[in-house]
Amino acid sequence: MEGKLLILGLALILISIATIPIAHCAYHSETLPNVMKEKITNLHFFLFDILSGSKPSAVEVARANISKGDTSPTPFGSLFAIDDPIREGPEASSKVIGNAQGLFVSSSSQPGTLGLVMYVDFGFTTGKFNGSSFTVASRNPITEGERELAIVGGRGKFRMARGFAKLNTYFFNTTNGDAIIEYNVTLIHY
């Protein structure tokens, strides 16, 4: 009897295994030709980075222990979160066309220099590019005159963007860190 049960049990196991669908586990990839046409877009705007006052657009969220006695507005090793307005012109009354949100780290420890590493998304809230944005992940040597930052991505009308932004400091307050930066951006996107 036990032998019949064992044979019956083995038969049921074999039938169960035979009826289980076998999954085909192989890597699959297909490369398609690119049929999308690349576009080049040039943008010009001003970023208002305000660290002072009752409603700053950039705030320090962390500071390195080694910079506790540093009285500069952006001591080495400090991390800032930003939500800076993007305006059509350099005047505070200029139309706001979007905002830049992200992080920057004060990355220069040498006296007389100010450098940042930026991870910022530039989003547009009005006009032709409303709902679109591009992303900068780059070193920003503030004390240099004209400087260039890398654009590494985008969304909306700037999908798959790459390119560069040329920056000029329009205004910089060395006491409180407030700045107005002129951006000339070249985007290559689909």
Instruction: Decide which of 34 and 71 is more confident.
Output: 34
Q: Among 19-33, 43-57, 142-156, where is mean pLDDT lowest?
A: 19-33
Predicted model pTM: 0.79
Distance CA(58)–CA(83), nearest Å, equals 6
Tokens 């409303």 found at: 130
Residue 181 tokens read as: 């930066």
pLDDT per position as a tens digit, 10-36: 666 666 666 666 656 677 778 888 788
pLDDT per position as a tens digit, 88-110: 999 999 999 999 999 999 887 77
DSSP state of 127: G
Q: Among 4-13, 59-68, 71-80, where is mean pLDDT lowest?
A: 4-13
User: What is the overall mean pLDDT for the chain?
Assistant: 88
> Is a pLDDT exceeding 60 seen at residue 49?
yes
pLDDT for res 178: 94
The length of the chain, given as a count of residues: 190
On whether the CB atoms of residues 79 and 67 are closer than 8 A, the answer is no
pLDDT for res 36: 84
Mean pLDDT along residues 42-49: 98
